[in-house]
């Protein structure tokens, strides 16, 4: 009964007019398929092949300024933000690939004809200084490969979001944590809310508020049929999901 109420509450705030269905973002790439692994070159390529809206990755900076692509802070006992590149370069993913650097994925983006964007999540490091280094290094790498129009940025750290928009006025940045109103973020130059489905259930009014301000709305991480249908009906622009093929079917 509670769930039904939430569903109806979300639906009541749906942007009904001209809404063509939510677009799909593959969470950590398309990895729930043979030969793939989360945050790998393969998971990016497979997402590009699907032509989904976006393929999401997570980025940490090493002590010597390299950007490693991995979700967790630690991998096989190595804490990426406290390690040198030398300590990270041979870390091996479940599918046998070496852990990629951001630049490896930017090279793939530069070459691809796919419309899929790379959604770069800059992780929350243990110091403000490391967060700011990660932002600067990420923007520099994106510029170096000339893929500014093929990437967007997300972060749980409000500081990271502010630094991104301060250093790159064109960057499309969305905030993940779920504790700020669209109005506040809009004032700060942040282009979207990218919130957990439960936050949007609690604050369904934020969907319309964001849209009225010209902001985008993304729900994460929604991988089951009922959840995908619920947020699609609610009119969110993007659904971040571990099941991109299912989400594409349900939202078209």
Chain residues in the site for Mg ion (CB under 5 A): 58, 121
How far apart CA 252 and CA 244 sit, in angstroms, is: 12
To Mg ion, the closest distance from the beta carbon of 58 in angstroms equals 4
Provide the b/e sequence for 66-79 (b: ≥16 CB within 10 Å).
Answer: bbbbbbebebeebe
Choose between 58 and 243: whose C-beta lies nearer to Mg ion. 58
The minimum distance between CB 104 and Mg ion, in angstroms, equals: 17
CB 28 to Mg ion: min, Å: 6
57 versus 109: smaller Cβ distance to Mg ion: 57
Q: How far, rounded to the nearest angstrom, does the alpha carbon of residue 176 sit from its chain's CA centroid? A: 9
Please state whether beta strands 67-69 and 54-61 pair in parallel, antiparallel, or not at all (unpaired): antiparallel
Residue 137 — φ and ψ, nearest 5°? Answer: -65, -35
In terms of CB distance, is 118 or 209 closer to Mg ion?
118
Q: Are 251 and 22 in contact (CB under 8 A)?
A: yes
Encoding tokens for residue 181? 């109103």
* Of residues 7 and 55, the one with the C-beta less far from Mg ion: 55
Q: State the minimum distance, in angstroms, from the CB of residue 56 to Mg ion.
A: 6
């Amino acid at each position: 009964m509670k769930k039904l109420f939430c569903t109806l509450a979300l639906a009541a705030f749906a942007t009904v007019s001209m809404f063509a269905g939510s677009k799909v973002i593959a969470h950590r790439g398309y990895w729930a398929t043979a030969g793939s692994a989360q945050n790998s070159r393969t998971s990016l390529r497979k997402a590009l092949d699907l032509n989904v809206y976006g393929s999401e990755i997570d980025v940490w900076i090493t002590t010597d300024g390299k950007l490693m692509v991995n979700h967790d802070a630690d991998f096989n006992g190595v804490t990426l933000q406290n390690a040198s590149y030398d300590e990270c370069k041979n870390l091996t993913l479940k599918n046998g690939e070496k852990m990629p650097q951001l630049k490896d994925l930017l090279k793939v983006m530069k070459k691809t004809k796919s419309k899929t964007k790379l959604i770069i999540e800059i992780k929350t490091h243990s110091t403000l200084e490391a967060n700011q280094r990660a932002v600067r290094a990420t923007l520099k790498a994106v510029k170096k490969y000339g893929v500014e129009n093929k990437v967007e940025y997300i972060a749980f750290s409000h500081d990271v979001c502010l630094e991104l928009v301060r250093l790159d006025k064109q960057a499309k940045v969305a905030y993940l944590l779920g504790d700020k109103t669209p109005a506040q973020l809009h004032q700060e130059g942040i282009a979207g809310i990218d919130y957990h489905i439960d936050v949007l259930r609690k604050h369904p009014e934020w969907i319309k508020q964001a849209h009225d301000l010209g902001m985008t709305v993304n729900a994460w991480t929604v991988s089951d049929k009922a959840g995908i249908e619920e947020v699609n009906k609610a009119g969110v622009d993007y659904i971040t999901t571990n099941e991109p093929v299912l989400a594409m079917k349900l939202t078209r």
